[in-house]
């Protein structure tokens, strides 16, 4: 049975009912323009709105991972990210901040600045990441992706999509368990090394990953799997996002990572009423 709590700096976060993670991008080139915070003040404002709308977690990213995005240095990522983390904790000291980074040094500096969770799209490609987590005991989100970010869409062939992804997670969960890292969330990585058809196969069969006994995070908000199917744009993909999120909840998602917190909270409220 999957864990329903996370130990966050000595406080238990309850996942027995699904919760929402709000996205704040401290980048000039993330795929959805309205998610970008161009200043510390704008990031704080966005955070306040999301917390008021019911976000349980805030996810800060300073490195755009959209297809075709420019890679930035570790120094630039730190300079973008850390001042925002510090100010958010200053203004909202009880906020649970997740940091979207695959670099262990960036993640560690963010934890030192007050962040609580590490969201790693590469699931430990940095050889220092798991050791750092063993020391800090921070909850860890690991996502499925194949190859480097710049080449991920060239790696969409699978012998068996679901079992290949499950094996990927099993191998890493074993390594984390060996380091006594217990608070682990899995993210199947919608849009990362997946075709549109594969994304929907994963969505339909999301409950397959319950066997891993880790909470499942789903991040489909306004992504191309929605707006390309609907022949629209990220800006017009909110309704489609809500529909996909509802299906994800029906199939076992515990955390919805979204740009639009209010609508995701409402989706969970309807789902919870039905169930």
- The count of C-alpha atoms lying within 13 angstroms of the C-alpha of 227, restricted to the half-sphere facing its C-beta, is 15
Q: Alpha-carbon dihedral of residues 251, 145, 142, 43, nearest 10 degrees?
A: -100
How far CA 260 is from CA of 34, 36, 98, 128, 172, in Å, comes to 10, 13, 17, 33, 31
Question: Which residue is listed with tokens 């066997």?
Answer: 211
Q: Which residues pair with 8 in a beta bridge?
A: 11
Candidate list 146, 194, 254, 257, residue with the active-site label: 257
Query: Secondary structure of the chain: what % helix, strand, coil (to 5)?
Result: 45, 15, 35
Please, which residues have CB within 8 angstroms of residue 42's CB and are 6 or more apart in sequence? none
User: CA-CA distances (angstroms) from residue 34 to 18, 23, 193, 234, 259?
Assistant: 25, 10, 25, 10, 8
**Cβ atoms within 10 Å of 114's Cβ, excluding its own:** 18
Interior angle at CA 54, CA 77 and CA 80, nearest 5: 10
Per the annotation, the verdict on 9 as an active-site residue is no
Pick the catalytic residue: 103, 222, 223, 254?
223
| Active-site annotation holds for 75 | no
Catalytically active residues, by annotation: 223, 257
């Amino acid at each position: 049975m999957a864990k329903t709590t996370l130990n966050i700096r000595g406080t238990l976060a309850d996942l027995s009912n699904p919760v929402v993670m709000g996205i704040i991008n401290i980048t000039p080139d993330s795929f959805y323009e309205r998610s970008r915070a161009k200043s510390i003040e704008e990031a704080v404002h966005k955070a306040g709105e999301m917390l008021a709308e019911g976000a349980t977690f805030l996810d800060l990213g300073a490195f755009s991972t959209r297809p075709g995005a420019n890679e930035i240095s570790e120094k630039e990522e730190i300079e973008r990210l850390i001042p925002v983390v510090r100010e958010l904790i200053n203004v909202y000291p009880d906020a649970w901040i997740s940091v979207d980074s695959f670099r262990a040094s960036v993640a560690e500096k963010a934890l030192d600045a007050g962040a609580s969770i590490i969201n790693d799209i590469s699931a430990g490609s940095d050889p220092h990441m798991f050791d750092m987590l063993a020391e800090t005991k921070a909850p860890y989100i690991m996502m499925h992706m194949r190859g480097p970010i710049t080449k991920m869409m060239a790696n969409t062939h699978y012998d068996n999509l679901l079992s290949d992804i499950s094996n990927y997670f099993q191998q890493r969960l074993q390594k984390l368990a060996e380091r006594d890292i217990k608070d682990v969330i899995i993210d199947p990585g919608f849009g990362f090394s997946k075709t549109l058809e594969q994304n929907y196969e994963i969505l339909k069969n999301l409950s397959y990953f319950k066997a891993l006994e880790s909470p499942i995070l789903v991040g489909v908000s306004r992504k191309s799997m929605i707006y390309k199917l609907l022949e629209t744009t990220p800006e017009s993909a909110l309704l489609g996002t809500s529909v996909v999120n509802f299906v994800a909840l029906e199939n076992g998602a515990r955390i919805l990572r979204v740009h639009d917190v209010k609508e995701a909270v409402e989706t969970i409220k309807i789902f919870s009423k039905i169930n």
